[in-house]
């Protein structure tokens, strides 16, 4: 196993090479896939034998192996987005985040399983089968970055990139006992992230500890001329995360996040963590975000609307899967999309197309944009009142069983009820594990004003120290 970046560095300092660490990752991956049922965290991996074996490593992440969600472009491995319509597709370029990690010396090990085009909350929507939770193989690892979460939690790699549109890094982090970081919108370039909903999508980070997440964020952040939404802001410095004191810090707890649907034991774990923050000097203030209950319906108008536009490019003409068995261009389009897309992607395309259609645009999409602004205004008002960060549960429940919610899409959508607001408002957020319920991890999250990742991660480091949670090692299917 390779649990953390520091552990990888220790192995390298002891004489191991980057290729040696890739071999360790490959051995661990093979062990997990030989079990029944297999973890199914990866869709493709790089052969360690193809890598240079030199012991001369350079860069802040020199020789450290990592994984990437399979909707982030890499030229060395396929980018399928968990979909048959892109099965076997290889990008001719690297995503900016991947290129920056490679320049820092990190070594890509593999591409991880995900819900098709990142549409889901369980990784059950992957065309290549679901990933499984390392702590209970009958349960989901979360989604849509479930493969990345499972890979880190099982000790294959010390960190992985995922993507967030409505909580798809933080939710699997909570289910798998990890730190899940969603940066501010505009902090990390989206160039090379296959679009689901462009105004919501963000590349995020999954690690075992907050400091590791901070190190990776510092490397992948920064302006990019190929992404007009990526802003030129001072980089968040990982070195600034230590020594943060809670005295005088005002932490808000939104009353809307502690109501309907929250599991009683999750509430107890959250209250215990909140009490530890208060005992350590933080000032706890109850606040209100009145528009929060509208976040899920707002999200499920905006996100499908943008998806219906973004996914129009997959028509069998340009690249990817093509069903040319019919007659004519229209038949090519319909057969390709019918055969290439899964049920959840089709559902969201239809929802989005309806919301954007003539006669309904203002009633649905236009109104959702107004609600989105109201949600952002609620956060701004709370932060302007002197609150440094908000603290809430990450998910209403621990990981649910495979198949438990797949037949009820709305129930599945509610898995992200506490996470979507940060995406709608473009805020940074980080989930930190706070305990176990029946052997299953649960997390709590901080949300903060835009581009205040250093402050937010400093608070997360203190919470991590106070709670003292460390994810147990996964020793097979019975773990």
Catalytic positions:
69, 144, 168
C-alpha distances (whole Å) from 458 to each of 178, 243, 331, 370 are: 16, 8, 55, 33
CA–CA distance, 24 with 276 (Å, rounded to integer): 38
Omega before 277 within 30 of 0, i.e. cis: no
SS3 string, the chain, reads CCCCHHHHHHHHHCCCCHHHHHHHHHHHHHHHHCCCCCCCCEEEECCHHHCCCCCCCCCCCCCCEEEEECCECCCCCCCCCCCHHHCCCCCCCCCHHHHHHHHCCCEEEEEECCCHHHCCCCCCCCCCCCCCECCECCECCCCCCHHHHHHHHCCCCCEEEEEECCCCCHHHHHHHCCEEEECCCCCECCCCECCCCCCCCEEEEEECCHHHHHHHHHHHECCCCCCCCCCCCCCCCHHHHCCCCCCCCEEEEEHHHHCCCCCHHHHHHHHHHHHHHHHCCCEEEEECCCCHHHHHHHHHHHHHHHHHHHHHHCCCCCCCCCCCCCCCHHHHHHHHHHHHCCHHHHHHHHHHHHHHCCCCCHHHHHHHHHHHHHHHHHHHHHHHCCCCEEEEECCCCCCCECCCCCCCHHHHHHHHCCCHHHHHHCCCEEEEEEEEECCEEEEEEEECCCCCHHHHHHHHHHHHHHHCCCCCCCCCCCC
C-alpha distances (whole Å) from 264 to each of 214, 337, 431 are: 31, 43, 19
Could you identify the residue written with the tokens 């193809």? 50
Burial letters for 56-95: b for 16+ Cβ neighbours within 10 Å, e otherwise?
Answer: ebeebbbbbbbbbbbbbbbeebbbbbbbbbbbebebeebb
């Amino acid at each position: 196993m390779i649990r953390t970046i520091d552990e990888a560095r220790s192995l390298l300092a002891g004489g191991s090479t980057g290729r040696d660490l890739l071999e360790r990752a490959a051995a661990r991956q093979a062990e997990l896939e030989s079990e029944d049922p297999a973890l199914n965290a990866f869709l493709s991996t790089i052969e360690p034998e193809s890598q240079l074996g030199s012991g001369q490593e350079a860069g802040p992440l020199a020789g450290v192996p990592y994984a990437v969600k399979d909707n982030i472009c890499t030229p060395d491995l396929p980018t399928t987005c968990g979909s048959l319509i892109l099965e076997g597709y290889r990008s001719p370029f690297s995503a900016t985040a991947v290129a920056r990690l490679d320049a820092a010396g990190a070594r890509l090990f593999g591409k991880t399983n995900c819900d098709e085009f990142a549409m889901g909350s369980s990784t059950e929507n992957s065309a290549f089968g679901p990933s499984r939770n390392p702590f209970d193989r009958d349960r989901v690892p979360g989604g849509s970055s479930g493969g990345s979460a499972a890979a880190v939690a099982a000790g294959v790699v010390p960190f992985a990139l995922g993507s967030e549109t409505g909580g798809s890094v933080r939710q699997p982090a909570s289910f798998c006992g990890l730190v899940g970081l969603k940066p501010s919108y505009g902090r990390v370039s989206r160039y090379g992230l296959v679009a689901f909903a462009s105004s919501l999508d963000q590349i995020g980070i999954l690690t075992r500890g907050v400091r590791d997440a901070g190190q990776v964020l510092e490397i992948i952040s920064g302006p990019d001329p190929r992404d007009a939404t990526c802003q030129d802001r001072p980089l968040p410095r990982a070195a600034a995360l230590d020594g943060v004191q809670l005295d005088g810090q005002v932490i808000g707890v939104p009353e809307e996040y502690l109501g309907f649907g929250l599991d009683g034991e999750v509430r107890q774990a959250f209250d215990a963590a909140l009490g530890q923050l208060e005992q350590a000097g933080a000032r706890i203030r109850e606040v209100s975000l009145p528009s929060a209950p509208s976040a899920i319906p707002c999200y499920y108008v905006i996100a499908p609307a943008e998806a219906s536009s973004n996914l129009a490019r997959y028509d069998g003409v340009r690249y990817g899967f093509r069903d040319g068995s019919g007659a004519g261009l229209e038949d090519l389009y319909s057969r390709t999309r019918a055969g290439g897309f899964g049920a959840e992607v089709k559902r969201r395309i239809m929802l989005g197309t309806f919301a954007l259609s003539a006669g309904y645009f203002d009633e649905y999409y236009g109104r959702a944009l107004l609600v989105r602004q109201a949600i952002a205004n609620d956060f701004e008002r709370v932060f302007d009142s002197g609150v440094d960060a908000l603290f809430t549960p990450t998910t209403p429940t621990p990981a649910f069983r495979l198949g438990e919610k797949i037949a009820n899409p709305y129930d599945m959508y509610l898995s992200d009820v506490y996470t979507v607001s940060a995406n709608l408002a473009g805020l940074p957020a980080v989930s930190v594990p706070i305990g176990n319920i029946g052997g299953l991890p649960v997390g709590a999250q901080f949300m903060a004003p835009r581009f205040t990742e250093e402050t937010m991660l400093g608070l997360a480091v203190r919470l991590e120290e106070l709670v003292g949670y460390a994810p147990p090692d996964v020793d097979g299917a019975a773990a």
